[in-house]
Amino acid sequence: MDGKLGAPRTMADMVGVSKSFGGVRAVREVDFSLRPGEVHALLGENGAGKSTLMKILSGEVGGYRGEIRIDGRPVHLTSPSDAQRAGIAMIHQELDLVPALSIAENVYLGREPRTRLGTVDMARMVSDTARLLTRTGVTLDPRRPVEQLRTGEQQLVTIAKALSLDARILIMDEPTSALSTHEVEQLFGVIAELRRAGTSIVYISHRMDEIGRVADRATVLRNGSVVAEFDARAMTATEASEAMVGRPLHLMFRAGSDDAEEPASAHGELLRVENLALRLRQPRSGRRDPAGISLRVRRGEIVGLAGLLGAGRTELLETLFGVGSKGHWDGRVLLDGKPIRPRSPRQAIKLGIAFVPEDRRIAGLALEHSVLANTVLSVVERIARLGTVSRATERSVTRSTVERLGVKLASLTSPVGSLSGGNQQKVVLGRNLLTEPALLLLDEPTRGVDVGAKAEIYRLLGQAAAQGVGVLLASSEPAELIGVCDRVIVLSGGRNVAELNTAEVTEAELLAATMNNGANGTDSAASQPELATGETP
């Protein structure tokens, strides 16, 4: 292994651990150790074996071969309860919260504090949850239903839930995937506090820029085996990425236009949003609906949306796609020069708009249904003949889509929920591209996706733009916005407050613009009145 480090006292050891599902070997003779107060990053593409290995350590997957030792003593973990008794807790990438219950009820679900009479001590549960939320740096009412929270806020609740267990070993699976830049910094503060207290952390992330900041060591898995180990603070993103994919990593982001004499800006305006504001009959708690947004997207152009959590990025995309937009509109939206006001996703699709939502597992896919069913879902009417769709046509359309997008799967009839996160996202993107949209809306399209799948998604977006599709992309990753987009619009408080040319801005400058405008709130829009007209500054 690369850069093998010394071996001081360990808190946890996994020695020669293997696990198979049917005839598929998910983990192969893996050795993995964790030192007291250490943050050990676990890297690899989706399907590399990271989650399986950590589910073994957290007691969620049994039937493994090999040995696990905690504080030098062998243990056999057969359930999450076994792991919790051994001081191990896991924060999953896919949230495991009960939407209808309150934050406090979720944090202490199954472990509710009791009064002397044996009833649930709600007052204590609320006060204890408030203290845990404060540790994560978020201000939320513990009595608030989880279903009212944004994805990023729900992620912070799962972290508070894990902290309530007082675990000595904490496994974090993509903990920042749904967090804003500000919330990521808050989480890093929590991790630093845990380290000082001696808690050991396994940190799984696809964001290479985070690893050097937060981790001490990094272990890379590929095809279920350990292929490299690095000093995380000396490791480069290129070294880690190439170890993950097993080949030299070429340009990850889309290349410039092949037609240098006809840039995307020459393709004409596709979307114009003029001072868009939405006033709902029933305002959505915790949401920031458009409050005066103006922007333009040209054919063949990829425009990014930046902003802190609650800036209004998701709400703008949902409004343009007709999701939850029943209310009073102010301003105008023009698509190809014609005024539009989508009242439902079906209407938006007919207008030529497609939308890849932030949470693919909740809003993007029917997980229990097949890859085939999920792929053709949006084009059933288009491929039907005399009101029916032949099985052969469905298979042909799905097969060509998964081959073009490089989706890795056992068969077209496999449940889409059985695919890795990156392959699930490709299915969502492929289904939307099948509608042949004029305008493609994407909300965090690479959240929880490995470096190889990211490169594929960027390639597909570049191809769509080259064919004249206009793209509006919301992302929390500055590198992604600069590498993929032509321009970036910064939102704050439901308004656009800045516009940046990605050819002339650095990641640090974009981050500063996002943070500064986020701190200024909606007042910052007043200093840039030219944006209210929809004209480019």
Q: What is the pLDDT of residues 421-446, one digit of tens each?
A: 778 888 888 888 888 899 999 999 88
How far apart CA 192 and CA 189 sit, in angstroms, is 5
Residue 254's pLDDT is what? Answer: 59
Mean pLDDT within 46-67: 90
- % pLDDT > 90, the chain: 39
Residue 521's pLDDT is what? Answer: 40
Residue extent(s) of CATH 3.40.50.300 domains in the chain? 12-245, 264-352+437-533
More confident residue, 326 or 115: 115
How far apart CA 500 and CA 486 sit, in angstroms, is 9
Residue 1's pLDDT is what? Answer: 43
Residue 249's pLDDT is what? Answer: 54
Predicted confidence (pLDDT) at residue 219 exceeds the cutoff of 90 = yes
Tens-place pLDDT, residues 282-332? 555 556 678 899 999 999 999 999 987 778 898 899 999 988 656 678 899
Asked if 373 and 367 count as a contact pair (C-beta separation under 8 A), the reply is no
- The CA-to-CA distance between both ends of the chain, in Å, stands at 52
Lowest mean pLDDT among 98-107, 196-205, 356-365: 356-365
Task: Count CB-CB contacts under 10 A for residue 381.
Answer: 11
Lowest mean pLDDT among 302-311, 375-384, 457-466: 375-384
520 CB contacts (<8 Å, ≥6 apart)?
492, 497
pLDDT band at 3 (very low <50, low <70, confident <90, very high): very low
The label of the residue with tokens 């990425």 reads: 241
The residue among 142, 212, 141, 138 whose CA lies nearest residue 179 is: 138
More confident residue, 168 or 523: 168
DSSP state string for 197-242:
TT-EEEEE-S-HHHHHHH-SEEEEEETTEEEEEEETTT--HHHHHH
Predicted confidence (pLDDT) at residue 520 exceeds the cutoff of 60 = no
Mean pLDDT within 391-398: 80
The overall average pLDDT reported for the chain is 83
Residue 288's pLDDT is what? Answer: 67
Residue 324's pLDDT is what? Answer: 66
Fold of 264-352+437-533: Rossmann fold (3.40.50)
What's the predicted TM-score (pTM) here?
Answer: 0.59
CATH 3.30.56.10 applies to domain 12-245: no
Q: Under DSSP, is residue 313 helix (H, G, I), strand (E, B) or coil?
A: helix
Element at 21 (helix H, strand E): strand 12-21
